[in-house]
Chain A
């Protein structure tokens, strides 16, 4: 083959490398798959991993307590808000795969939830159920999956947040009534809007500024009155150009500041008592795998070649861990092997939970994005935008916290340890320096999250 022919082939390959086409990529992956099994040859060279922490059981116990505290913290504290209402505990399940201002939650399958039911976190109104999963015959499921994203399964519901442009909720502030919903456009075009918009204001606000939900069945539907009395935020005056308008300072960071919620329903519809069970360390949810190396060939990356694929039950997005420590996420699953990106890989993003000493319930930091690690791989730099709500919770003081994975990604369980970082005091963009205990030396024996077995999901 002449050099000119090779140059033409190379140009075509270069274009396909820079601008991927799904089917071509799949074909290339299929062609490379048998050779990729040769990664096993490096297993005898693999250095032994640093000994797994002796107090692994203690660490897992701490995480279970933390997650329980998170669930308890999401329960309304004001007894008046519990009267004549049933509470169904639900856990945020998927945020990344959903359109903006919608989240997917999981709830006990025996609870009878319907669209329109309000969703709250603590005493704060979050939004309402917009769609509930139903059992479908297998053929209907397959048809629906062909048309778009897979339909919701029983025990799953889609929640429309109050920040959605289409969301409307009645509210009262003293004697003043108003309608709220959606976000107010930020004054600076690049800033992320965070204040809730006031849609209809009947009169001028008095001295009372705390807003609570005030719904009537005729206006908001039969279930909307269940949200009566839940907090929405504080009415604040904003200058937009020369005009002065009213907006609502929220009590919650709707973008990433919660992971546990309660759906409000009539008392007879809520199952008795129990919170949704969640144990990130249930051995049935994890599959043991080997990786080709305890490292990678590109010095600027942090990835792993996993010597197992869809044949072993692995799927894209599944968490990779070593004991209770988070390692990364499966990004490309082949039949026999897979690729995983780790926390220190540039651009890697995930929702994070922080355990701050002296605070029982964890803080939701929202999403962080990796900027890579230092030479020793002991430190990982994470870009993080601190919300006003987190800054309030920190009380204006920088605090050292243990960071964990949070709910919000379907195949990453909450509570996997990331490391220790100092959380700065003020709201805004920060770079966190995460100190890992393992320095990225996880060895070649890891575990991949395969999810709960079907019998564990049914009641």
Chain B
């Protein structure tokens, strides 16, 4: 692997770190209910332009970085983010993800599915640990709101996020 590609992976990790940290720091109080999933939108923007064989590495990298700020179990996050990458790549092969409206719609769908998965993983683990799901109710409205604002962000700023400095060796397709 060329050194510039290695550097690009480090740059991706750094940008993911910034996105998740910013999201965690800014999404407080009532704002947390609608604040977009910055990290996931950035990942989607980049996945849209990556080689498929590298997309899985990006998913795993995003799971690792996200775990620095999130309390879900590592395996729940890993399966969630890898599933996110899988879903985006599957949709990319049949839909034109570079069109803003489709990009936004795919983002809404994938972010909602990923967050729902994180919820299901946490609830399942609570069930095995405590023997009941008391207190757990699917927060569908909150997840839908976050997915919608994430879709809006992807619609408006998707290409911009994919053009962040240091990532050009990872971009193989044009919008």
Contact surface of A with B, Cβ cutoff 8 Å: 1, 3, 6-7, 9-10, 13-14, 16-20, 24-25, 28-29, 31-32, 35-39, 41-42, 45-47, 292-301, 303-305, 331-332, 339-341, 346-349, 369-372, 375-377, 383, 439-441
User: A1-B56, A297-B70 are contacts. A42–B24 as well, Cβ < 8 Å?
Assistant: yes
Given known contacts A13-B75, A299-B139, A383-B135, is B67 in contact with A36 (CB within 8 Å)? yes
On chain B, the residues within 8 Å of A383 by CB distance are 134-135
Q: List 16 A–B pairs whose Cβ atoms lie within 8 Å, in order of A's numbering.
A: A3-B52, A6-B56, A10-B86, A17-B121, A20-B75, A25-B73, A29-B74, A41-B21, A297-B37, A299-B139, A300-B119, A300-B142, A349-B130, A370-B135, A372-B137, A376-B30
Chain B residues, Cβ within 8 Å of A17: 73, 75-76, 78-80, 121, 124-125
List the A side residues contacting B133 at CB < 8 Å: 347
Taking a contact as CB atoms closer than 8 A, the residue among A20, A46, A340, A348 that contacts B128 in the complex is A20
Count B-side interface residues using an 8 Å CB cutoff. Answer: 60
Partner of B73, one of A3, A20, A46, A304: A20
Bound Cα distance A32, B68 (Å): 9
Interface string of B81-106 (1 = CB under 8 A from A): 01100100110000000000000000
Most buried by B among A32, A299, A331, A440: A299
With A13-B75, A300-B139 given, can you name 12 additional A-B contacts, CB distance below 8 Å? A18-B125, A25-B73, A32-B64, A42-B69, A292-B68, A293-B21, A297-B20, A298-B115, A300-B143, A305-B69, A340-B71, A347-B126
B82 in contact with A13 (CB, 8 Å): yes
Pick from B29, B72, B73, B120: contact of A439, CB below 8 A: B29
User: Which of chain B's residues have a CB closer than 8 A to the CB of A29?
Assistant: 73-74
**In contact, A346 and B33 (Cβ under 8 angstroms):** no
Q: Which residues of A contact B136 (CB under 8 A)?
A: 346-347
**B24 adjacent to A295 (CB under 8 Å):** yes
Least CB distance from A345 to B in Å reads 9
Selected contact of A28 from candidates B21, B37, B74, B80, CB within 8 Å:
B74
Q: How far is the CA of A297 from the CA of B135 in the complex (A)?
A: 20
A18 to chain B, nearest CB (A): 4
Secondary structure call for the A interface = mixed
Q: Tell me the minimal C-beta distance from B59 to chain A in angstroms.
A: 9
Residues of A within 8 A of B71 (CB): 296, 301, 303-305, 331-332, 339-341
Interface status of B146 (Cβ within 8 A of chain A)? yes
Contact: B134 with A24, CB < 8 Å?
A: no
Residues of chain B within 8 A (CB-CB) of A347 are 126, 130, 133-136
Pick the residue among B20, B76, B134 that contacts A369 (CB under 8 A).
B134
Q: State whether the Cβ of B174 lies closer than 8 Å to any Cβ in chain A.
A: no
Task: Please state if A18 and B121 are interface contacts (CB–CB under 8 Å).
Answer: yes
Q: A296-B24, A299-B146 are in contact. Are A1 and B53 (CB under 8 A)?
A: yes
Residues of A within 8 A of B25 (CB): 42, 45-47, 293-295
A304 CA to B24 CA, complexed, in Å = 11
B28 at the interface (CB under 8 A from A): yes
